Structure 1
Amino acid sequence: MSTAIRVLIVDDEPLARDRVRELLADAPDMTLIGECRDGTEAIAAIRAERPDLVLLDVQMPEPDGFGVLSAVAHEYQPAVIFITAHRDFAVQAFEANALDYLLKPFDRERFHQSLARVRERRRTGATELDAELIERLESLSHRLPPASEPYVKRLVAKVGWRMRFLRVEDIDYLEAEGNYVSVHQGKQSYLTRETMNALEEKLDPKDFVRAHRSLIVRLDRIEEVEPLGPGEMVLTLRDGTKLTSGRSYRARLQRALDLPT
């Protein structure tokens, strides 16, 4: 009988999936059985394929990583290694009984340390986290220093069959469009399959402001602000584009633009 460990990769970022796939190729006892781009695909794949190990992103189109595990919890519980750029989820990862928590960016050695944990669990049949890992997960949440590069420098958008890299400094604004977000750069716009909440966390608040539940604007593109009714504002960008803010975001805009209250 084959002793290969069957692995499923779940991450909404193509470059991240490519990186994990590359590192996984160094482990001959690991067999990649599939890749998923969002929580819905992941739930279906886990139910259908019953992987031994899921390399699972935390933040992605709904449901997120924890939602995926919750959805399949009563049916099947694979070993899980969380892979994320957000250290704040460490304690939740522990509570979800993850074998490990890889904080992006991680190197080849750190990745293979995680795989060693999977092998050890399979060898011993253990299902609980060891004390050393529990302590490290708690430390991730409470004691790690701020990341040196906490915000992204580019986003990835799909253009036909190709993936286009969008420099953050070239973005004028982002606008929700159904299950996607439209990223506007001058006269061009591109769709990316991320939530507004996820994108807001990835973008530096010194450069961008959430102006509406469906709108994020680059601050240095705003040329004029005009009050519109109770709480709302019309934001005029350098190119003449006019955008309307949401009432509940008024205070946030005032702080970001240093407007009088």
Structure 2
Amino acid sequence: MLTAIVIDDELFAREELTELLQETNMVEVIAQASNAIEGLKQINTLKPEAVFVDIHMPQVSGVELLGMLDPDTMPHVIFVTAYDQYAIQAFEDNAFDYLLKPVDPKRLHKSIQRLVKTKQHQDAVYTQTQIEALTPKHLQQVPCMGHNRIMIIPLNDIESAFSDLSGVHVQTAHQTTTSQLTLKTLEEKTELLRCHRQYLINTKAIKEIKLLENGLAEVVTHSGHLVPVSRRYLKPLKEVLGII
């Protein structure tokens, strides 16, 4: 569930929006504020994931409040106002969305769904960052996912690794499994060598290199798997193998 703060100088408008948000069962309103200064304090203290703020408020407007937030840590800001002429400026100032009063529940629901999808994406990125941060500097084995199990594959058993739309995969002589580590992490923390934009090769698994047309090549591993080698990486690969 998303956490949110509602900021509006009109009590009725605050309470009505809070009720609409709670009825979605996707947002928890953790605070309300009657002006931008009070709202700024609550944002810095409570760290909400979203802020629903009126633009037209005395002293400090919603647009000015947005400009006071740290762009690196700011929550998603959704403007809620009766004045549609502010829409362009709202988006230029990095607002997440713009809702007109009186708020249409269907339009509000659509905005919240966008918020939820954005949060899920950010959580996935954060999880991947955590995984990589906890990975040792040098890997001698690679954790991979199988059918309802986690497999620990010794580096020496890996012939190649590659990425596609479904993720990063590790190829051994007998099986292909999926790893949560990125190809970049495997390249930096193992002895696997880049041979293609989407492939890494274990040089100990190379049986032969077939030279193709246009400067391309193809590695044949000891188990018979084929791994492409692009023009960019052919020379470095040959140098590592001591081939002039």
Which TM bucket (shorter chain)?
Answer: 0.3 to 0.5
TM-score normalised according to structure 1 size: 0.45
- TM-score, with length taken from structure 2: 0.48
Q: Which entry has the higher C-alpha Rg, 1 or 2?
A: 2
